[in-house]
Structure 1
Amino acid sequence: MTAKNNADPEDSPLGVLDDAASVDTAGIGILGGTAQVRVTLPAEEDDDLADDGVVDGEVGIDLIVDDVTLPAAPKPVLDAPRLDDVIDAVVVEEPVVADSVPEEPVPEEPVPAAEPAADLVAEEEAAARFLAKAGADRAEVPAAKPARAPQAPVQKETTMPEADDKPVASAHARPAPRTDVTLTAKRLGELGESARESADLLTSDRLLDPHRVAKPEPEGGWSHLLYTLSGRRLNIGDGRRARERKELTARIAAPLAGGARFVPVLSRKGGVGKTTVTALLGMALADAREDRVIAVDANPDRGTLADRVQRAQHGKSVRDLVRIRDDVRGFHDISAIVARDATRLDVLASDADPRVAEAFSDDDYRDVADVAAHYYSLVLTDTGTGIVHSVMSATLDLADQIVIVSGLSVDEARLASETLTWLESNGYAQQARDAIVVLNQSTPGTPLVRLGELQAHFASRARSVVRVPYDPQIAAGGTIVFANLLPETRKAARELAALLVEGLRAKAA
């Protein structure tokens, strides 16, 4: 502030600003009192102020107050301006010193309101002490100290509260720092075993809403009739027989974990239906399951298993598979040798020439079994008559489940029971206890033996007993068409297949 900025005293109602004492001192006359404010301005390319000890970027202010009359009343007089009102009008630009700025300004505690007169006196005394100290600091700074680089000025303005208001804190509180939430991702290997699910758990029963899934067309006489008469609007579900058939299919189609399973079908007497039971079991399995099933005719003396199924007349046999076992590169090599019926059962026939069949040995069967295990889940074996021929040793060594066939006569039942005894005595006791005994009725009419007594005997020695009723198509000795069998025959074959799968699954558990 310089003398050239002074105004005419008659034009200013607040006071007179004139030169006094020195170049950096001005006097302000206020209502009979005089207040002198000494302001030292930063030098701007002017060397005249260097002799006065003024350092660039610093401001010194001296305040001299004398004979200032303050109102004694509790409430300030609004007609006359106060000294602090005049000081508020003076804006001083002061550069910010980085060393003097605190890193974390702490908000001041709000001061309770006091009497108006005491507040004004305390504020004026504090301002006077601050300005006097600033002038003393200016005088102690040596003139030879190099000037700091000028920084961006920060405008300071002191606002005094009115008499009726509470004092306002001079520093504003900085908002609390934001606490960020750290997101972490786990890799698949870091999850616990209990928290991981395999794909087979995503079943339709779990994922689909049963209320939004349309029911399939019901099966059964009355259920389907009601569904048709109601215009396909009333669906009470399947009938009892349809439900039983679907439940049996689900038991047969249950998955089998692991590799191929070998199931030999044994009999110590010819003519009891061993080949027929092998064909029925294979058809029931292949008709309900999605994996591959094969039946191998390992009868050394001209078996008839291939004659019981619909097959291609290519003349291939088990001997051909033994020859190409080292050249098999895929399933197409196997499909050129086996025969397949309507249920998708593959059948590997035995040799038609008995003289060649005699050469089919234990090692040959193991070679066939090794190839079949690569492409099939279930391998059924139609063994020859008796249990001591050349192929029986390999058949029993590879067996996972054994099926024993008995006719409905006294001697046939006794031979079947002796087969279990032979197995128990020759190291196959566990296979004998887990075996399934099939009572096959090959003649019409009521059997002469008591079926109840026969079933009770074998139930005490084996795991399960199944009875296959007489069927004219089977008794004729021709090709078996599974869909044309009597319902009771198909049900017995499917029950045998379900028991076999359940036994294999129980061993794998």
Structure 2
Amino acid sequence: MTAKNNADPEDSPLGVLDDAASVDTAGIGILGGTAQVRVTLPAEEDDDLADDGVVDGEVGIDLVVDDVTLPAAPKPVLDAPRLDDVIDAVVVEEPVVEDSVPEEPVPAAEPAADLLAEEEAAARFLAKAGADRAQVPAAKPARAPQAPVQKETTMPEADDKPVASAPARPAPRTDVTLTAKRLGELGESARESADLLTSDRLLDPHRVAKPEPEGGWSHLLYTLSGRRLNIGDGRRARERKELTARIAAPLAGGARFVPVLSRKGGVGKTTVTALLGMALADAREDRVIAVDANPDRGTLADRVQRAQHGKSVRDLVRIRDDVRGFHDISAIVARDATRLDVLASDADPRVAEAFSDDDYRDVADVAAHYYSLVLTDTGTGIVHSVMSATLDLADQIVIVSGLSVDEARLASETLTWLESNGYAQQARDAIVVLNQSTPGTPLVRLGELQAHFASRARSVVRVPYDPQIAAGGTIVFANLLPETRKAARELAALLVEGLRAKAA
């Protein structure tokens, strides 16, 4: 580097920049009152110097020293700091718009430690030169590098100066804490029981194979197509399955008691009790029991498969305090093919009358612990001792009538007696069964008979004549006529629907 002057550098009285040494050992000599130094440096790729002080790759710095008096001496070469340090101490910064009023001032960054050291080196240089006054442009603190921020642009008012908006402050970070509720913290309305996890709810119907269709034409088409064409069940099969679903509907709560009443013997009260119990037990998953509470030697156990042990309702009364589980009950009852349990009446006529109201309540209390439905085959007399407990525990009543004038009249009088003795609601919710016990066409008009009982009770069901039932032997539910089984199942469906309606 060379200090430029109008004369030859060696004869110039102003000063010389020694180029014999490197830049690290370069010095400046000041001989006169004013010295000008022009330094030419290579251009740097710095964006901070692009706006001010750089012209065609050069940075110009003028040092002006006035009224400097030095003693006569040969050209001294002062031990000065590096010229790069002095030049770097002068930092050019972008002009600041003074009219800008930020909403929130951003604190300026503190000068770096190495920048302060460079300023002190420049001061020592002037002191060694012996200057009385030195005017050196003050170095401005270097800007701290900042991340680029987005600025909001606001439209100035008519009389206001443009105001630069402050940089947008980042929103405070909010940490989202994920918490899991325990089962006890859930509301009662949001908790589901296990019985809601049904196959219809969980299984995809498009991926579940359809069962083999039932019905003549449906099954024939399914077979001829090599089990590829399944058009579903036939009409009769669909009706049968819908009836089964009605019978198998769940019953919430405890055991339900259903007495079967009749004021006249021989109308089929015991037969209807057996048919109703078989239809319920065949379709439902819970336990069903039929209790023979007839004090005059009932025949309910004779209508189902008899057990060889000969136990009766009297034995259950005797061990009621020692029953510890269902196996104690199963040793006394008789069970048929439909899973209907039957508790027979006492076969000894000498002690049959001793079966009292308290005895029935003891039997009902034990049966309620192990069965969902308890059917009771009552005696022919409404006013006998067992009838009071039977009606007090009744949830639904079934009244049986024959297809004759006197039998129908006695059945209607039974409804009247119930209405007059505090059981009016049970009478209105009752189901009347018109049982045909003789073959052929009945002499009475069935339409008129059904219309009469429909005006007094909730439902009326007609059970047709069946030779197996008329024979008086054991009833096998699967061997009954289709019309008889359908009538028994319809009676069971109406009974379950009535019990569910009362519980709702």
TM-score normalised according to structure 1 size: 0.71
| Matched-pair contact (CA < 8 Å) for 1:58–1:94 | no
Q: Name the SS for the 1:366 alignment partner.
A: helix
Q: 1:47 to 1:437 in 2, by over 3 A?
A: closer
Q: 1:191 to 1:95 in 2, by over 3 A?
A: farther
Partner of 2:304: 309
Taking the aligned partners of 1:67 and 1:25, their CA distance within structure 2 comes to 27
Q: 1:169 to 1:61 in 2, by over 3 A?
A: farther
Cα distance, 1:181 vs. partner? 2.2
Cα distance, 1:123 vs. partner? 14
Measured against aligned partners, the alpha-carbon deviations of 1:74-96 in whole angstroms (never above 9, x if no partner) come to 99999999977754399999999
RMSD: 13.0
| Matched-pair contact (CA < 8 Å) for 1:406–1:412 | yes
Taking the aligned partners of 2:244 and 2:378, their CA distance within structure 1 comes to 27
Measured against aligned partners, the alpha-carbon deviations of 1:51-103 in whole angstroms (never above 9, x if no partner) come to 99999999999999779999999999999999777543999999999999xxx
| Matched-pair contact (CA < 8 Å) for 2:15–2:30 | yes
Taking the aligned partners of 1:157 and 1:36, their CA distance within structure 2 comes to 47
Q: 1:155 to 1:444 in 2, by over 3 A?
A: closer
Cα distance, 1:187 vs. partner? 3.1
Cα distance, 1:438 vs. partner? 0.2
| Matched-pair contact (CA < 8 Å) for 1:36–1:63 | yes
| Matched-pair contact (CA < 8 Å) for 1:34–1:65 | yes
| Matched-pair contact (CA < 8 Å) for 1:285–1:494 | yes
Q: 1:312 to 1:47 in 2, by over 3 A?
A: closer
TM-score normalised according to structure 2 size: 0.71
> Is 1:494 paired with 2:489?
yes
Pick from 202, 208, 229 the counterpart of residue 207 of structure 1.
Answer: 202
Range moving further from structure 2, 497-506 or 91-100: 91-100
Taking the aligned partners of 1:78 and 1:397, their CA distance within structure 2 comes to 128
Taking the aligned partners of 2:147 and 2:54, their CA distance within structure 1 comes to 19
Cα distance, 1:136 vs. partner? 17
Taking the aligned partners of 1:445 and 1:473, their CA distance within structure 2 comes to 15
| Matched-pair contact (CA < 8 Å) for 1:95–1:153 | no
Cα distance, 1:44 vs. partner? 36
Range moving further from structure 2, 3-12 or 60-69: 3-12
| Matched-pair contact (CA < 8 Å) for 2:297–2:349 | yes
Q: 1:97 to 1:394 in 2, by over 3 A?
A: farther
Taking the aligned partners of 1:495 and 1:75, their CA distance within structure 2 comes to 133
Taking the aligned partners of 1:508 and 1:76, their CA distance within structure 2 comes to 119
Cα distance, 1:341 vs. partner? 0.3
Taking the aligned partners of 2:460 and 2:133, their CA distance within structure 1 comes to 116
Taking the aligned partners of 1:404 and 1:455, their CA distance within structure 2 comes to 13
> Is 1:2 paired with 2:17?
no
| Matched-pair contact (CA < 8 Å) for 1:20–1:27 | no
Q: Name the SS for the 1:326 alignment partner.
A: helix
Taking the aligned partners of 2:466 and 2:210, their CA distance within structure 1 comes to 35
Taking the aligned partners of 2:75 and 2:425, their CA distance within structure 1 comes to 112
Cα distance, 1:48 vs. partner? 41
Q: 1:386 to 1:88 in 2, by over 3 A?
A: same
Cα distance, 1:356 vs. partner? 1.1
| Matched-pair contact (CA < 8 Å) for 2:29–2:77 | no
Taking the aligned partners of 1:3 and 1:464, their CA distance within structure 2 comes to 126
Range moving further from structure 2, 349-358 or 14-23: 14-23
Cα distance, 1:183 vs. partner? 2.1
Measured against aligned partners, the alpha-carbon deviations of 1:216-248 in whole angstroms (never above 9, x if no partner) come to 000000000000000000000000000000000
Taking the aligned partners of 2:160 and 2:27, their CA distance within structure 1 comes to 31
Q: 1:37 to 1:244 in 2, by over 3 A?
A: farther
Q: Name the SS for the 1:437 alignment partner.
A: strand
Q: 1:118 to 1:215 in 2, by over 3 A?
A: closer
Q: 1:507 to 1:172 in 2, by over 3 A?
A: closer
Q: 1:352 to 1:110 in 2, by over 3 A?
A: closer
Q: 1:384 to 1:240 in 2, by over 3 A?
A: same
| Matched-pair contact (CA < 8 Å) for 1:71–1:77 | no
Partner of 2:11: 11
Measured against aligned partners, the alpha-carbon deviations of 1:239-260 in whole angstroms (never above 9, x if no partner) come to 0000000000000000000000
Q: Name the SS for the 2:129 alignment partner.
A: helix
Q: 1:423 to 1:139 in 2, by over 3 A?
A: farther
Measured against aligned partners, the alpha-carbon deviations of 1:267-323 in whole angstroms (never above 9, x if no partner) come to 000000000000000000000000000000000011000000012211100000000
Cα distance, 1:380 vs. partner? 0.3
| Matched-pair contact (CA < 8 Å) for 1:27–1:37 | no
Gaps of at least 5 residues in structure 1 are 101-105
Using the aligned pairs only, state the percent identity. Answer: 99
Higher normalized strand content (fraction of residues): 1
Range moving further from structure 2, 123-132 or 293-302: 123-132
User: Which consecutive segments of 4 or more residues in structure 1 shift more than 4 A?
Assistant: 1-86, 89-100, 106-178
Range moving further from structure 2, 81-90 or 65-74: 65-74
| Matched-pair contact (CA < 8 Å) for 1:25–1:39 | no
Q: 1:82 to 1:113 in 2, by over 3 A?
A: farther
Q: 1:162 to 1:247 in 2, by over 3 A?
A: closer
Cα distance, 1:426 vs. partner? 0.5
Q: Name the SS for the 2:273 alignment partner.
A: helix
| Matched-pair contact (CA < 8 Å) for 1:73–1:117 | no
Cα distance, 1:209 vs. partner? 1.7
Q: 1:488 to 1:170 in 2, by over 3 A?
A: closer
Cα distance, 1:487 vs. partner? 0.3
Q: 1:20 to 1:391 in 2, by over 3 A?
A: farther
Q: 1:495 to 1:40 in 2, by over 3 A?
A: same
Instruction: Give the count of matched residue pairs.
Output: 504
| Matched-pair contact (CA < 8 Å) for 1:53–1:141 | no
Cα distance, 1:174 vs. partner? 11
Q: 1:14 to 1:458 in 2, by over 3 A?
A: farther
